[in-house]
Structure 1
Amino acid sequence: MPSDTVLYQAAALCLTYPDDDFRARLPLLREAAPQLREFVDHAALTPAGDLAAHYVEVFDSGNRHSLYLSRWRDDDTRRRGMSLVHFKDLYRAHGLAFTDEELPDFLPAVLEFTSRTGNLDLLAEHRTALARLRSRLADFGTPYASVLDAVRATLPTGS
């Protein structure tokens, strides 16, 4: 069984926009992270344009399926700014610089951080957000829910 480190990196890739680079990595993702095969097989069989349109439909639908973890707890309140600082501080404490290309609470960035450091704190801290996002993705009928299932299965039980 591959390590969770590989799973987190693979899940981060699965939750980013499905460009040509993503499609080229699908065979590697399928072999490296068998927990993600349901999603990877779907992505491989779906025409590129349809997959890209589905990604936009799912994740650009306002906050309903937000990949920004602090939105689930803080929404757009003043507290969200402090949450974002917390993410950046944790990245810095582990010697990682955040580029500001995305907000630090972007789930693929958090998964990449977890993959590189082995630190589960952010995922565990946002366990409820992950559960809510997964539930909404499942209700929407998208295979992206299976990616969240795989990630959530790695988290220790309890808070």
Structure 2
Amino acid sequence: MDRTLKSLSLLLSYPTEELQQAMPEIGGVLAAETRLTAAARRDLRPLVSSLQGDDIYDLQERFVMLFDRSRSLSLNLFEHVHGESRDRGGAMVSLVETYRDAGFDPATSELPDHLPVLLEFLALRPLGEGREVLADAAHIFEALKTRLARRDSAYASVFAALLQLAGVHADSDAVAELLDQPEDDPTDLEALDAVWEESEVLFGPDPNAGCPQVRDMLANMDIPGPAAPATSARAAE
């Protein structure tokens, strides 16, 4: 298992007391990761420290305000590519099939494109495959890192680390296109309700639906390899 990807998956998971108890081990894994620069490892420390020592209710409120109430910070990757279009449904179906073909059955209620779930899957796959998938999503990581940095959020360090593990520079035009989209105000509940009610997610059966970029990402993931056991993004390995 790639313990670094697993650890980053847990950092992006909803904070729980169990996660807090696992933070010393998670912090140790990240501090020893030579694929990350010394600066990247150092930048992760405030988040690790916060998740370990801050009040659990404050941590949970902060997480919800960032990732659940701000679509521009959504951890569901296809949200940034497809929004609520039918294409997202087709891409989702393909992703579920990719998980199952590899023997991975996520024990979570999250959508299959939820980043912590994807990272946990990649942690069980060959190193080169994981790097290719991360590279395909580099523009999303760069946009999320930029938006989180604007909010002075320590979570920005996770996306900086993912970009280093991907080993590529995000396409500047693709990043600019994402950053041109308006950011949500998580305290404006009326506006938030209006945005979420704009359209319904339709999960179509066509596995070829979606933009070429997402199909490429799924194709890169679908590389034959040893079957991985079912696991959950909620528990530390």
With normalisation by structure 2, the TM-score equals 0.61
* In structure 2, C-alpha distance between the alignment counterparts of 1:97 and 1:45, rounded to whole Å: 32
Runs of 5+ in structure 2 lacking a partner? 32-40, 171-237
State the match for 1:72 in structure 2.
Answer: 80
Question: Which protein is richer in helix relative to its size?
Answer: 1
Tell me if the contact between 1:88 and 1:98 (Cα under 8 Å) persists in the aligned partners.
no
- Counterparts of 1:1-159 in structure 2, within 5 Å, are 5-34=2-31, 35=41, 36-99=44-107, 101-118=109-126, 119-120=129-130, 121-157=132-168
Runs of 5+ in structure 1 lacking a partner? none
With over 3 angstroms needed to count, the CA separation of the structure-2 counterparts of 1:86 and 1:127, relative to structure 1, is farther
- Say how many residue pairs are matched: 156
Q: Which has the greater radius of gyration?
A: 2
With normalisation by structure 1, the TM-score equals 0.88
* In structure 2, C-alpha distance between the alignment counterparts of 1:124 and 1:82, rounded to whole Å: 21
Q: CA deviation at 1:86?
A: 2.3
- Percent identity over the alignment is 28
RMSD: 1.9
Bigger RCO (CA 8 Å, 6+ sep): 2
Tell me if the contact between 2:14 and 2:60 (Cα under 8 Å) persists in the aligned partners.
yes
The letter of the residue matching 1:17 is Y
Q: Secondary structure at the match of 2:72?
A: coil
Tell me if the contact between 1:7 and 1:151 (Cα under 8 Å) persists in the aligned partners.
no
Deviating more after overlay: 17-26 vs 99-108 = 99-108
